[in-house]
Structure 1
Amino acid sequence: MLRRSGGRPAGFDENSTDATGYCSPLSGWPVSISNSSSLMYGVPNLEAWNIVVFQGLHASSGATRLAIYLGVVLAELPVYLAAALALWALVARRDVRMACAIAIACLLGHYVEVLCNQFAYHDRPFAAGYGSALIKHSANNSMPSSHVTFVWTLAALYGMKKHWRLAAVFGCLGLVLAWARIFTGLHWPLDMAGSAATALASSFLAISLVRAGWHMARRARGVQEVGGQARAVNPPSRERRR
């Protein structure tokens, strides 16, 4: 369990916090990590790295109003932009296979979150006493970030299908979102590493499942792909057609 040696800041609300109750993170309070069983993966060095990187990315007491405003907006906006872009791409390309892959990958990503909640629970920064969050949020499990996982899943799926431009756009949106979620105090840097791993694994499995299912369906209908084109298996002879 992450704890500050100086305890939690005055006025800290474990259930929800907001910008008006903002407290500067790590301002003069030395970091201490207890040896409790809730220590993430039981690796103190991993937690130390997590805290140090969080210190550098989280909003400080000297953050400007513009920076705080951008952080709050960008902690949500990229998700909607990514969803809108994915929907446009699916409709424009009439890509049913990609739609299936996205649905399966998102479902697999959700299962990973459930497993992490059960077996790799980790307090969010504000719940661990590292300052207030700039956005109201419940003090639930932080690993991984569902927002970032979704956007990077889109990036991974389109990258694996070699749609490089869309993959790059989704990847950049995910990076901006990851920074904003850390800046506003909702997530740890390590949560983003978990999101990246979840996105890659779920995307690979989703594409594999869709490809296998598609081939099975085509074979059942007597159709197979040759050189990217659909051709009938054992086409009827001329005598049969007569």
Structure 2
Amino acid sequence: MSRRTRLSVPDRRLAILPAGARAGHDDHSGRARAPAREAEPSAPRRSGRENLEPMEALNRTLFLWLNAPAHPQAWLVALATVLAQWLIWAIPALLAIGWLRGDERTRKAMLAATASAWLGLLAGQLIGLAWPHPRPFMIGLGHTLLAHAADPSFPSDHLTLWWAVACALLLQAGQRRIGAALALSGLAIAWARVYLGVHFPFDMLGAAGVAASSAWLAQRAAPWYMGPAYRTADAVHCVLFGRLIARGWVRA
């Protein structure tokens, strides 16, 4: 066998080694270096909530279907912004007008709605602390057209407040039409907040459940709190609006 033939075998071996590892030497220093070891595949991580993954996938699919496109129409964004950010102020206005202009029965209905709203917001905060579900923009999903804090999304505070008042009024005789109107208009707010990218659809379903539960609890507990709450609120009302009551502008 010729000398050229004997050298051809190691030459082929060197050709398939990675750069910097040929002949067991470093390219720059010439010092011997052990061949690189292949990384062993790691076991897949387990989230501990595998049973929720199909629901989360559905939640994200619905979100992407309802969320604004990359180039939305300006009038639609403006409408969604009004619904999502400013319409919520109709709730305190409604409660205030109902109290100032209503009779004792109406005022007690407003107090029950207020109690339902506070219970719903408290329950929502506790749920958010126990299960801090991220908002869409926190995971880079969809398009976000409304600035919002990066806090837990489930359930929606806006819809919890809105529907807690609506459900409470639905349980009050004489206030059911207003409650139904609020409940239906809440659907528009739910769409707007998903469209603008700050909530998932399931955040709205969670808000509906929390709101209904809060209204039911406020109604059941009314015999214990309504009397003291009404007397206290009426005393404050007389102090704050005494002059307007004397002029007949505000109901006593």
Which TM-score applies when normalising by structure 1? 0.68
Distance in 2 between residues matched to 1:46 and 1:60, nearest whole Å: 23
Counterpart position of 1:211: 223
Q: What aligned pairs does 1:6-45 form with structure 2 within 5 A after superposition? A: 35-37=46-48, 42-45=51-54
Counterpart position of 1:99: 110
Counterpart position of 1:69: 78
Q: Residue 159 and residue 131 in structure 1: after superposition, are their counterparts in 2 closer, same or farther (change >3 A)?
A: same
More helix by share: 2
Matched, 1:186 2:201: no
Question: Residue 158 of structure 1 contacts residue 166 of structure 1 at CA under 8 Å; is this kept in 2?
Answer: yes
Distance in 2 between residues matched to 1:168 and 1:205, nearest whole Å: 19
Q: What aligned pairs does 1:1-242 form with structure 2 within 5 A after superposition? A: 35-37=46-48, 42-94=51-103, 95-162=106-173, 163-214=175-226
SS, match of residue 107 in structure 1: helix
More strand by share: 1
Relative contact order: is structure 1 or structure 2 higher (C-alpha 8 Å, sep ≥ 6)? 1
Question: Residue 152 of structure 1 contacts residue 196 of structure 1 at CA under 8 Å; is this kept in 2?
Answer: yes
1:59 alignment partner AA: A
Q: Runs in 1 of length 4+ with deviation above 6 angstroms?
A: none
Question: Residue 159 of structure 2 contacts residue 207 of structure 2 at CA under 8 Å; is this kept in 1?
Answer: yes
1:105 alignment partner AA: S
Q: Residue 101 and residue 75 in structure 1: after superposition, are their counterparts in 2 closer, same or farther (change >3 A)?
A: same
Across the aligned residues of Structure 1 and Structure 2, the Cα RMSD in angstroms comes to 2.3
Identical counterparts, % of pairs: 29
Distance in 1 between residues matched to 2:154 and 2:114, nearest whole Å: 21
Cα drift, residue 46 of structure 1:
1.0
Cα drift, residue 214 of structure 1:
4.5
Question: Residue 120 of structure 2 contacts residue 210 of structure 2 at CA under 8 Å; is this kept in 1?
Answer: yes
Cα drift, residue 52 of structure 1:
1.4
Cα drift, residue 208 of structure 1:
1.3
Unmatched 5+ stretches in structure 1: 1-33, 218-242
Unmatched 5+ stretches in structure 2: 1-44, 230-252
Question: Residue 78 of structure 1 contacts residue 173 of structure 1 at CA under 8 Å; is this kept in 2?
Answer: no
Q: Residue 71 and residue 90 in structure 1: after superposition, are their counterparts in 2 closer, same or farther (change >3 A)?
A: same
Counterpart position of 1:6: none
Question: Residue 86 of structure 1 contacts residue 154 of structure 1 at CA under 8 Å; is this kept in 2?
Answer: no
Question: Residue 66 of structure 2 contacts residue 191 of structure 2 at CA under 8 Å; is this kept in 1?
Answer: yes
Question: Residue 78 of structure 1 contacts residue 176 of structure 1 at CA under 8 Å; is this kept in 2?
Answer: no
SS, match of residue 136 in structure 2: coil
Distance in 2 between residues matched to 1:71 and 1:116, nearest whole Å: 26
Deviations 1:155-201 (A, max 9, x none): 10111114221012211221111111100000000000110011100
Which TM-score applies when normalising by structure 2? 0.66
Question: Residue 58 of structure 1 contacts residue 185 of structure 1 at CA under 8 Å; is this kept in 2?
Answer: yes
